[in-house]
Structure 1
Amino acid sequence: MRIIIAAGALLLLISCGDTPLSLLDPGRAEDVRMIRALCDTAVPTTGSIAANVLGINLFPLDDVRTLTELSNMSVPWIRLDIRWSDIETGDGVYDWHTCDALVHEVANQNKQILGIINHWPGWINNDYEKLSNRIERFAEAIANRYRPGGVLSQITTIPTNYGIRYWEIFNEPNLQGYGWNAPVNPAQYAIVLARANIGIHRADAAAAILMAGLSPDGYPWEKFMQMMCHLHALNCVDIINFHPYGWADRFPELIAKISNVMRPYGVPMKPVWFTEFGTSEEQMLDAILIKGLTQRGAAGGFFWFCLRDIRPDSEKYGLLRYDFSKKTAYHLFTNYLHQNGW
């Protein structure tokens, strides 16, 4: 997919290989109606939305000790990156083994999961018509498998009242490469979001759907949100989502700014969650963590990024170092949990 800006209009060429399927211009009434009509078929959750959610990103998952360390923490929620590409290895061919085991272990720890449907399979080949169709099928399959009373609870010892009820649809679609595998395209994301909503709610009407967390970097998040409003894409979500890196001390200001972006479109405000927040600068980690925990009440949900450093020599976001030794921030976080009744 390519984004072409010409004469102030955003033209989106949705293509299958080199063959164009359709040329969408969100400034042209008939194309706006087409996308809006799809987004207007989406329905909200029939369930309630959790408040005062506190969690951590369970990342990276390249060592089984990560789950052991998680079990030693009383954090009530985790954000779990579920890679579609790892499960649907071929068109309609599923391998649930690894994901089943992971969800089962987290269930045994009595922690709630925010699941991210992320990284579409390579066999889609950036065929956007196929992506739009297959995301609905996969979203229905994964919601049905992991909902309370779903397939996993029927084949394991997981209690039937346990399941994944919160689904985030991709990650940072305004910044290519962190879950959204193609160039930034708000209209294509709106279509994918609508189709995922349809699939998930077909399997579990009480599931809550989060918009992908927008990045403060990359394509300007305000413009991306404006397109979401213009195309009725926020009809497809129950929770708005942002990654407030760089907004320490300013969480309430950010919430107000999100509301101000939506207001001209007549879109009512929805709960806002911050599903990633942190820093890779270890000398600032303690201060940033304290600021995040102090202001997390501005949002309905707050997830620290992340449990463990991603690499031994860079991307040191973790409460644990890559070798699993504990940073001061680990103790600050666990003390906060205990002091607040977790």
Structure 2
Amino acid sequence: MSTPRTSARRDGRARRALVGTLLAGLALGVTSIPPTPASAALVEARPIFTPLAGALTTSSAVDRNAALPDASISEKKKGKKKRRHGRLRIGISTGFSIMYSGDKRLDKDLARSENFGADQLRLDISWAIIEHEQGVYDWSLTDRLLSRTKAKGINVLGVIGFAPDWSHNPDQSVKPELFAKFVDLAAKRYANKVAAWEIWNEPNQDRSWKAKPNPRAYARMFEQASAKIQKRDPKAKILMGSLAPAVDDPDGIEISPITFLKGVYRAKIDRSSYDVISVHPFSYPALPSGDEDWNTFNRLPDIYRVVKRNGDGKKPFWLTEYGARTGSSSRSVNYKRHTKLMIDAYRETKKLPFVQALFFYSLRDASPNLKEPEDNFGLLKFNGRPKPAYKAVRRELIRNP
């Protein structure tokens, strides 16, 4: 994603790019947004994802393996296993751009989602947009979106987070008490419109967390926020994790999902504060079924083993983002590969008995600029026309439910 960076963050990203020519953090987000008073906040608040791309070089493979302690390459999954959590649920993580769609376009997008086969949408509830100025709240964008999804009977997973600038500590970490106050207001307002809550987005990276990621700090913040949701919306599911593909960076600007979860458990997080573990297993250009050691999708059984060893083995996983860039940039995949990635993700997810839901990212391209890799994750083109993957996955969902 093209967002303002401090020089330190730019230097950190450059250092990571040097470790393996094709294993790089690729940022994702919305870059073309209609003018709005909240647009400045959105630039700082939008979610960031770093799918890992390409094969490792021989020299970097040793370093990357060392950065993932106690994590072995998962054996190739064979045959079908009995699902522990019922039929696999399909969702779409829409991205921020849907928030700014006109009514007509929004209705078309919601219809496209249902036609695709999704029974739930992951929508952003951005603290930075709603309370851009401390104590001044503008719920209008989120109210409109959730009212329309509620009217259509669409289940909503609300991802809440994205702190405004005024809310940070000097080291850029989140002030838990301020975030909990906002969560309390949001949970009270949307208790009958949000079926599940995902607290924060990708806290194992500094781009979303702002400060260097800290499992203990995340655990304490999460507990305070979760308590507010449980009070206001006791029937809603609460998701912990929202973990991005990452490695254990020596500078501490990102932490692998396995290491981060171990840190959360060492911090003795209250395990009654959440119902679901969430992960973003981006793998492109590799297939989810690939056996690359850096392939986050391939590492899902390893992540699950950490969860199981810490007493959470009965809790389901939700894969709340999976997708790939199309377009004409050097970091994109063509439509044929895009389609294969999406279908493979669905088929491989069905083989994982601990996974309950798979969300495809995203619904519609954020702009018509095919050269901008961050804007082309959609199942739909910017003009609303389906990409081949949309139709192919829809057929797969019907033929192989």
TM-score range, shorter chain: 0.7 to 0.9
Are 1:301 and 2:357 counterparts? yes
Any conservation in 2 of the 1:272–1:300 contact (CA below 8 Å)?
A: yes
Secondary structure of 1:300's counterpart equals: strand
Mapped partners of 1:264, 1:330: distance in 2: 37
From 148, 155, 179, the counterpart of 1:135: 179
Question: Partner residue of 1:113?
Answer: 156
Q: Deviations over 1:1-59 (max 9, x none)?
A: xxxxxxxxxxxxxxxxxxxxxxxxxxxxxxxxxxxxxxxxxxxxxxxx98632110112
Higher strand share: 1
Query: Is the partner of 2:244 in helix, strand or coil?
Result: coil
Q: 2:135, 2:174 → 1: CA distance? A: 12
Q: Does 1:190 align with 2:233?
A: no
Q: 8 Å contact 1:57–1:276 — kept in the other structure? A: yes
* CA shift digits 1:93-144 (9 cap, x unpaired): 3221111111011122221100000211222133578721012211121111
Gaps of 5+ in 2: 1-84, 247-253, 291-295, 326-332
Counterpart for residue 176 of structure 1: 206
> In structure 1, what is the Cα distance between the partners aligned to 2:342 and 2:187?
32
* Residues 252 and 72 (structure 1), Cα distance of their counterparts in 2 relative to 1, 3 Å cut: closer
Offset, 1:337: 4.8
In the TM superposition, 1:272-311 aligns within 5 A as: 272-280=317-325, 281-283=333-335, 284-297=337-350, 298=352, 299-311=355-367
Q: Which amino acid aligns with 1:291?
A: D
Query: How far is 1:309 from its partner?
Result: 2.1
Q: Matched residues in 2 for 1:130 and 1:322: separation?
A: 34
Greater CA drift, 58-67 or 271-280: 58-67
CA displacement at 1:338 relative to structure 2: 4.9
Question: CA offsets per residue over residues 228-286 of structure 1, 9 Å max, x none?
Answer: 11112261321011111126126996443123223554554421110011111234110
Question: What is the identity percentage for the equivalent residue pairs of Structure 1 and Structure 2?
Answer: 28
Where 1:54 maps in the other structure, the secondary structure is strand
- Letter of the aligned partner of 2:236 in structure 1? A
Equivalent in 379, 382, 391 of residue 331 of structure 1: 391
Contact 1:140 1:201 in 2 (8 A): no
Cα gap change, 1:285/1:196 in structure 2, threshold over 3 Å: closer, same or farther?
A: same
Tell me the amino acid that sits aligned with residue 309 of structure 1. Answer: D
Q: Is the 8 A contact 1:143 1:203 kept in 2?
A: yes
User: Cα distance 1:78–1:263, how it changes in 2: closer, same or farther (>3 A)?
Assistant: closer
**Separation in 2 of the partners of 1:51 and 1:239?**
16
Unaligned runs of 5+ in 1: 1-48, 149-162
Note closer, same or farther for the CA distance 1:317–1:334 as it changes in structure 2 (3 Å cut).
Answer: same
| Equivalent of residue 262 in structure 1, options 292, 303, 307 | 307
Task: Find 1:233's aligned residue among 269, 275, 292.
Answer: 269
Q: Does 1:245 align with 2:282?
A: yes
Corresponding residue SS for 1:144: helix
Letter in 2 for 1:164: V
The 5 Å alignment of 1:7-18 reads none
| 2:188 is the counterpart of 1:144 | yes
C-alpha contact (below 8 Å) 2:158/2:198 kept by paired residues: yes
CA change 1:130–1:258 in 2 (3 A) is: closer
* RMSD of aligned alpha carbons: 2.6
Where do residues 181-220 of structure 1 align in structure 2 (5 Å cutoff)?
A: 181-217=210-246, 218-220=254-256
Q: Is the 8 A contact 1:228 1:234 kept in 2?
A: no
5 Å-filtered alignment, 1:15-30, equals none
Change (3 A) 1:100 1:211: same
CA distance in 1: counterparts of 2:86 and 2:135, whole angstroms: 33
1:195 is matched by which residue type in structure 2?
A: Q
What is the CA–CA distance in structure 1 between the aligned matches of 2:202 and 2:122, rounded to whole Å? Answer: 14
> Are the counterparts in 1 of residues 319 and 359 from structure 2 also a CA contact under 8 Å?
yes
Structure-1 separation of matches of 2:206 and 2:148? 31
TM-score, structure 2 as length reference: 0.63
